[in-house]
Amino acid sequence: MASSITFPVSAEDVLPPVTIDGPYSTWESLRGKQTMPETLRDAKFGLWAHWGPTSWFRQNIPVKHTHYLSEMYMEERAANAYHKEHYGDPNEVGYKDVIGNFQPKHFDAVHWADTYHDAGARFAGINVMWVDNFAMWDSEVTKWNAADMGPKQDITGLLNAEFAKRDMPVVTTFHSLVSWTWFHRATLFDGKVPGDHVNLYNEPHEKTDPYSDRILNFWENCVFEVLEKYKPTAIYFDYGFGKLSDEQRTSFSANYYNWCEKEKVDGTIFHKDGSQIGSVNRERGRFGDLQTFPWMVDTSVGKKFWYINKWRQEELGIMTGLEVTRMLIDIVSKNGILLLNVAPDANGLFPDDQTQIMKETGEWLKVNGESIYNTRTWGTCAQGPIWQKYRKSARVKGNESEYTNADVNFTTSKDGKILYAIVMARPDAGELLIDGQFKAGEEANIRILGRDGSVGFNVKADGKLAIEVPALSDEKFKKQIPVAFAIEGFDAKAPKLVEGTNNMRPYHAIWKKLQEDAEWLKRNAAAVKEVKPAIVAAEGPHLRSKPARGVNPYHDKDMRFTQSKDGKMTYAIVMKAPKPNSTLIIESFFVEREEKPIRLLGYDQPIEYALNDKMQIEIKVPKLDAKDWPEDSPLVFVLDDFKYTKHYDVK
């Protein structure tokens, strides 16, 4: 639906779309672009900062606020009254008139890069454009940039050069698409008339309107200006990328990877919107268990803030160096990397408490970095009560204080010759038992990182490894600090995990009844017995419906997914039989274009299907005999040896 608000956007305000020729143009051509660059996988730990005009407002506006850029336009907020008193009526004097107050006196790119590197960071992030559309680089695309106003320095260029001197790959982050909704109020005040601020506020629009061509072209021109100027290893998009249409995402992704091809950059796109393209990012949360693909977490030292925020820090606090260290260990053991945000003050200085966090993390990594940098995963990520408690969780956060010396996480050297067992708190003197199957070679050796010499061990009759832990002094090994053991010269196999039947929490009465239904089971046992979870548990409108007695609450678009134990067959269980000759779309899977058969359990005729433009499976439902196939009976389609990933539309 078109907006009811009109705005005479001039032709010069609408930049031409970006088009970069190359081998990529469709989702099919972009297959395989779900890889993370090796430089980032090796670096493991990165630091970045939320820093810009918002830092000035947070530090200098005395009334409590979270986002001055929007709250100054809300009459019920204290920021609005303050703005009227000190700057003027937001109908005339708005964000555009005060953004230049951000004039940092002590920004030093060398100091920032040294601080990051000393903290153990081996890659860095630069927040080049936040939701206020202020460019932190020397831009020709927008006048609202740090080189022309405020700092009057190319912040991105200065930092990028210093990170390069330290061989630190760079992730540039863009948050500006979110401005479409965050700056919505501004366009009802001083942004309601035409002017040269359209690329700051955007044109007036309804909050629910789709992106205009102007903002999309502006956003993409900004991104590619940064790419051309600074050649970052990766780019990261906050909320907003997922709101692009399928066509828009395809076009941008193709342009980006064509640019990488042209510039010979081994790059990736980090985003929060599925794993179909680029690299997966989790904000303020991590997976509960080991993942087969590399992924990233971005989070902040502030438990509820990204930019400096004295009110939220007083209320909710910040992380400690110990919490950051434990979080990093857990993420790396699960095949992830960490991008940690710090919040400098308006002048470009790091507050003392944040400096202490970085110092503590750096001190641990200086001793134990061997167990983190350039490592890969083992067959399991951990052992102990915390892993057992959270391993089935889709999102884990804030549990860093729960770890004890009963919790052990694992990494391996890149060549697989060294297994690192990282105990999350200093172990007591005595026996440390590592689960798995171990065989000691002639040169088997175990050492503690940060301690000279080797420690004793023996392999138990059941194959587990018993490490003889000596008494560790408080001077070198503080009680709560993780301790890493390097286990070398062993044939070390991770313990075999007991697979659950599925991860669908099948508490629904109708689901339970089906598993007990002898006739249904006779035909469909393969889908519910001796199976493991698929990468998506379910899809459809009734993921949590609880049925009335004797009633099937499900829709013919409700599906549950399982896999055979060898992973070769995926079972799509349609909870209510669709109508004959209708089209059933499996939306959760992005499928590689390979001609593989699809079967319906209990049905001996071939099943017709095709892949749509989103690379999703569209099945033509056959006409079935009602005697053998009751109307409410679920159908089980078998995807035999299909290659697929979780679709980007699946959140």
* pLDDT tier for residue 124 given thresholds of 50, 70 and 90: very high
Can you tell me the mean pLDDT for 400-408?
A: 95
Q: What is the pLDDT of residue 399?
A: 85
Q: What are phi and psi of 445, to 5 degrees?
A: -155, 145
User: What's the confidence (pLDDT) of residue 274?
Assistant: 60
- Crossing angle for the helix pair 352-368 and 321-333, to the nearest 10 degrees: 50
List the single range of 152-166, 400-414, 564-578 with lowest mean pLDDT.
564-578
The pLDDT of residue 518 is 67
| pLDDT value, residue 553 | 63
Of 523 and 352, the one with more pLDDT: 352
User: What burial letters (b/e) apply to 457-482, b meaning 16+ CB within 10 Å?
Assistant: bebeeeeebbbebeebeeeebeeebb
Provide the pLDDT for residue 161: 98
- How would residue 649 be classed by pLDDT, with cut points 50, 70 and 90? low
In the predicted model, is pLDDT for residue 137 greater than 90? yes
Question: Is residue 273 pLDDT above 80, yes or no?
Answer: no
Q: Which tens digits make up the pLDDT trace of 522-578?
A: 788 888 888 888 888 888 876 544 444 444 567 788 888 999 988 889 999 998 888
* CA–CA gap between residue 119 and residue 131 (Å, rounded): 28
Say which CATH superfamily domain 1-8+42-59+104-267 falls into: Glycosidases (3.20.20.80)
The yes-or-no verdict on residue 11 having pLDDT over 60 is no
Strands 170-174 and 123-129, sheet pairing: parallel
Q: Pick 333 or 626 by higher pLDDT.
A: 333
Q: CA torsion angle for 120, 124, 127, 128 (degrees, to 10)?
A: 150
Does residue 332 contact residue 365 with C-beta atoms inside 8 Å?
Answer: no
The predicted pLDDT at position 197 comes to: 87
Interval 42-69 mean pLDDT = 95
Q: What pLDDT sits at residue 33?
A: 80
Residue 7 has pLDDT above 70, yes or no: no
Q: What is the mean pLDDT of residues 13-28?
A: 89
414 pLDDT more than 90: yes
Return the H-helix or E-strand segment holding 180.
Answer: helix 179-182
Strand order in the sheet with 430-434: 430-434, 465-469, 457-459
Q: Please report the sign of the dihedral spanned by the C-alpha atoms of residue 140, residue 143, residue 148, residue 153.
A: negative
Range of weakest confidence among 31-35, 251-255, 330-334: 31-35
Q: Provide the CB-side half-sphere exposure for 6 (13 A, CA).
A: 1
pLDDT at 648 over 70: no
Structure confidence at residue 551 (pLDDT) = 46
Is CATH 2.60.40.1180 the right assignment for the domain spanning 375-493? yes
> Is the model's pLDDT at 188 over the cut of 70?
yes
Whole-number Å distance between alpha carbons of 309 and 68: 12
Ordered by start, the domain boundaries in the chain are: 1-8+42-59+104-267, 375-493, 509-646
Residue 641 has pLDDT above 50, yes or no: yes
Residue 410 has pLDDT above 90, yes or no: yes
Mean pLDDT of the chain: 88
Strand order across the beta sheet in which 583-586 lies: 583-586, 617-620, 609-611
The answer on pLDDT for 631 being more than 90 is no
CA 480/CA 405 separation, integer angstroms: 8
pLDDT of 416 > 90? The answer is yes
163 vs 614, higher pLDDT: 163
For 128-152, what is the mean pLDDT?
A: 96
204-208: average pLDDT: 86
pTM, entire model:
0.80
| E strand or H helix that includes residue 466 | strand 465-469
DSSP string of 362-396, one letter each residue: HHHHHHHGGGTTTEE--SSSEESHHHHHHTT-S-B
Task: Kindly tell me if the per-residue pLDDT of 651 is higher than 60.
Answer: no
Which superfamily is assigned to 509-646 in CATH? Golgi alpha-mannosidase II (2.60.40.1180)
Mean pLDDT of all residues in 236-260: 89
* Among 21-25, 42-46, 517-521, the least confident range: 517-521
Residues 214-228 pLDDT 10s: 999 999 999 999 999
Residue 398 has pLDDT above 90, yes or no: no
Q: Which helix (H) or strand (E) holds 229?
A: helix 213-230
Domains 375-493 and 509-646 share a fold: yes
Helix axes 246-263, 213-230, angle to 10 degrees: 20
Count CB-CB contacts under 10 A for residue 171: 25
Question: Is residue 213 over pLDDT 60?
Answer: yes
Categorize the per-residue pLDDT at 412 as very low, low, confident or very high, splitting at 50, 70 and 90.
very high
What is the average per-residue pLDDT within 118-135?
97
- pLDDT of 626 > 80? The answer is no
